[in-house]
């Protein structure tokens, strides 16, 4: 089992560019989520999904889109990158549809927006 995989590991973008952060899990988990981590602020939920075809907003959704066409994949799209989106992004998954089940995190994507 690879668990939760994220690509790329590092990315530098210019302001206004768009890109997609990839996330995949091979554990057949229903729940998947995206967080961003900024110094001193912990992890903040961007979007989450409780199953294929179902997504919802988290705490900081502005500037990001998600879709969940399969159980395995949950990509995060930055529509027009801004310096405020410089952060480390983590994808996570868990069984069931609740956030309080053990979430398994990917290794993260470190994004810098110039």
Partner 1 sequence: GQQLNQSPQSMFIQEGEDVSMNCTSSSIFNTWLWYKQDPGEGPVLLIALYKAGELTSNGRLTAQFGITRKDSFLNISASIPSDVGIYFCAGPSYGTASKLTFGTGTRLQVTL
CB of 28 to partner 1, least distance (A): 19
Token pair of 101 as six digits: 């089940």
Q: Which is nearer to partner 1, 5 or 18 (by Cβ)?
A: 5
CB of 75 to partner 1, least distance (A): 17
Site for partner 1 in 22-61 (CB under 8 A): 31, 33, 35, 40-45, 48, 50, 56, 58-59
């Amino acid at each position: 089992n690879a668990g939760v995989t994220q690509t790329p590991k590092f990315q530098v973008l210019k302001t206004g560019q768009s890109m997609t952060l990839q996330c995949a899990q091979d554990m057949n988990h229903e729940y998947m989520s995206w967080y961003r981590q900024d110094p001193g602020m912990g992890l903040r939920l961007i979007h989450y999904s409780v199953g294929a075809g179902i997504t919802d907003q988290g705490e900081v959704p502005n500037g990001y889109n998600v879709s969940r066409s399969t159980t395995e994949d949950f990509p995060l799209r930055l529509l027009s990158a801004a310096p405020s989106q410089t952060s480390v992004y983590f994808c996570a998954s868990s069984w069931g549809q609740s956030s309080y089940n053990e979430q398994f995190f990917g290794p993260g994507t470190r994004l810098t927006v110039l």
